[in-house]
């Protein structure tokens, strides 16, 4: 979160309204219509219910006030406008105060299929529907509270908990796979891969293993951890998560399930 960004978040005018170009609205429309088709039969019911409540427009980028009107009513959360990249302190502080950070820019056509940094489509389409769900909202709130108080080293371990739940979490329901992680739900490639591919491992959620499992952000995930229901997030909230972080630090990381990243050669 300390890296520089190629994007600049947009600021609202005096009326609080953020103006996007026709081209930016067209990108949103392409992304949301494509992904709505992709997640059919793959997204969890709680996510689909959240989408219905948000009623995200298909022809334009929504204003954050529209999102907040629903989230505040449902779970007391809201979204907060942030620059393209923010510090970990700011990130955890926002979550601890039930504010989900949303960078008010959208990717370009050149990066339509994959963008390393989160844009408004990823944050709003990927995460906001489940913020209407009490279990998901409580888990995210607790995560922010723990992260805000944690040391720099502890935050590295906590990041894996977020990655394998909020971003890349799966559900296993009556022998069927469903998605609740926003990093999957906002990506057509990862949606297909997470559900249909025989390549990745899918393992039941074990907090100690999750905290010790390395990941990379620039590849399809080699491993997903799954819950039996979204309500299981309540059970995780009742664990002494930081005691598991301390144990994970003592035990060290598990061997990565991906090859090392090959550095780019200078031309």
Name 11's bridge partners.
Answer: none
In sequence order, which residues have a C-beta less than 8 Å from that of residue 109 and are 6 or more positions away? Answer: 27
Q: What is the dihedral of CA 94, 95, 100, 102, to 10 degrees?
A: 50
Q: What is residue 246's three-state secondary structure?
A: helix
CB 204 within 8 A of CB 226: yes
Name 82's bridge partners.
Answer: 103
- Residue 167 among known ligand-binding residues: yes
- Residue 228 among known ligand-binding residues: no
Give, in order, the Cα–Cα distances in Å from 36 to each of 40, 170, 262: 7, 18, 34
- Residue 74 among known ligand-binding residues: no
> Measured between alpha carbons, how far is 187 from 221 in angstroms, rounded to an integer?
12
Contacts of the segment 110-115: beta carbons below 8 A, 24+ positions apart: 112/27, 112/30, 112/31, 113/187, 113/188, 113/189, 114/187, 114/189
User: Which residue ranges are tagged as binding site for Fe cation?
Assistant: 122, 127, 167
User: Which residue ranges are tagged as binding site?
Assistant: 122, 127, 167
């Amino acid at each position: 979160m300390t890296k520089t960004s190629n994007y600049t978040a947009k600021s609202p005018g005096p009326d609080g309204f953020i103006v996007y170009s026709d081209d930016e609205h067209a990108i949103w429309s392409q992304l949301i219509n494509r992904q709505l088709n992709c997640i059919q039969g793959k997204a969890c019911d709680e996510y689909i219910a959240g989408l219905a409540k948000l009623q995200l427009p298909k022809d334009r980028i929504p204003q954050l006030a529209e999102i907040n009107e629903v989230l505040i009513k449902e779970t007391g959360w809201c979204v907060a406008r942030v620059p393209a990249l923010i510090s970990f302190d700011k990130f955890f502080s926002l979550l601890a105060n039930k504010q989900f950070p949303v960078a008010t820019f959208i990717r370009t056509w050149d990066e339509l299929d994959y963008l390393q940094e989160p844009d408004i489509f990823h944050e709003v389409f990927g995460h906001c529907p489940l913020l209407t769900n009490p279990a998901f909202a409580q888990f995210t709130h607790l995560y922010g509270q723990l992260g805000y108080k944690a040391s720099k080293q502890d935050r590295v371990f906590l990041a894996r908990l977020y990655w394998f739940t909020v971003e890349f979490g799966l559900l296993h329901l009556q022998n069927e796979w469903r998605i609740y992680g926003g990093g999957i739900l906002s990506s057509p490639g990862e949606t297909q891969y997470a559900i249909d591919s025989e390549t990745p491992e899918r393992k039941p959620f074990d907090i100690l293993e999750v905290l010790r499992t390395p990941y990379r952000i620039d590849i399809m995930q080699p491993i997903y951890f799954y819950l039996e229901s979204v309500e299981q997030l309540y059970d995780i909230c009742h664990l002494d998560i930081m005691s598991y972080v301390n144990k994970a630090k003592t035990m060290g990381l598990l061997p990565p399930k991906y090859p090392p990243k090959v550095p780019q050669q200078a031309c």
